[in-house]
Structure 1
Amino acid sequence: MQDALFNLPDEAPEHAVIARFQLGGDDFGEADQRSLVFAAERSIGAAVAAAGVGEVDGNEFGGGEVVIYAYGSDAEDLFRVMEPGLRALPFRPAHVVLRYGKPADDSVSERVEL
């Protein structure tokens, strides 16, 4: 007889896609910029959920930029789904960091200019 406690599957690695866009206006961007980001985030989040590749975990405004965070088990698959929506945002300069693993694991990362 096997004990189920000892047959747990390995935890899937937590990869990330972190998109960073420069905004205009004050520290949090202008109202119309924030509206565009929120709409894009909802659309990208729906695409990520439908593809089953992870989740969009939110955003952070400040310092004249916005950062959008997403997590899943494969950063490349996640970015592939997110890329059209991220490229559609008009704010530049912009880039994405694909992180392969948890931040505490000294993960490998790759930067992609948008």
Structure 2
Amino acid sequence: MQDALFDLPEIPPEHAVIARFHLGGDGFGERDQRVLVFEAERTMTAAVEAAGVGEVDGNEFGGGDVVIFAYGPDAEDLYRVMEPGLRALPFRPAHVVLRHGEPADDVVTERIDL
């Protein structure tokens, strides 16, 4: 008799692209800034889905910043597809963190300034 637990396929670790943009102030940014972020997010979502490299998972506004989250099996591939949309957003300072694997103390991350 086989143990079903050992027959499960190994799930690859999930990578992430986490982009942070400074909007100014200490709140949620101005309405026109949020509109630009939402438009860029829709464009990046379509590109990521068409390329089959993962998913854009949403955003978080607060403290004068916006953070955009995306996940997939390869952070480099995901960033490559998202990069034009991220660079098109005019808010600076800005940076992207590529996380190569699940969140952990020893996971490899790379920071890219935009």
**TM-score bracket relative to the smaller structure:** over 0.9
Read off the aligned partner of 2:78 and give its amino acid letter: L
Residue 23 (structure 1) aligns with: 23
Amino acid in structure 2 at the alignment position of 1:41: E
1:1-114 matches, cutoff 5 A: 6-104=6-104, 106-114=106-114
Q: Structure 2: where are the runs of 5+ without partners?
A: none
Q: Distance in 1 between matches of 2:60 and 2:16?
A: 15
Q: Which moved more, 1:5-14 or 1:57-66?
A: 5-14
- Could you list the runs of 4 or more consecutive aligned residues of structure 1 that deviate by over 6 angstroms after TM superposition? 1-4
AA aligned to 1:90 is P
2:101 and 2:46 map into 1 onto residues whose CA distance is 23
Supply the RMSD in Å over aligned alpha carbons.
1.6
CA displacement at 1:104 relative to structure 2: 2.9
The percentage of counterpart residues that share the same residue type is 80
CA separation in 2, counterparts of 1:25 and 1:33? 12
Report the TM-score, using the length of structure 1 for normalisation.
0.92
TM-score by length of 2: 0.92
The farther-off stretch of 30-39 and 100-109 is: 100-109
Aligned length: 114
Give ranges in structure 1 of 5+ residues lacking alignment.
none
SS, match of residue 104 in structure 1: coil
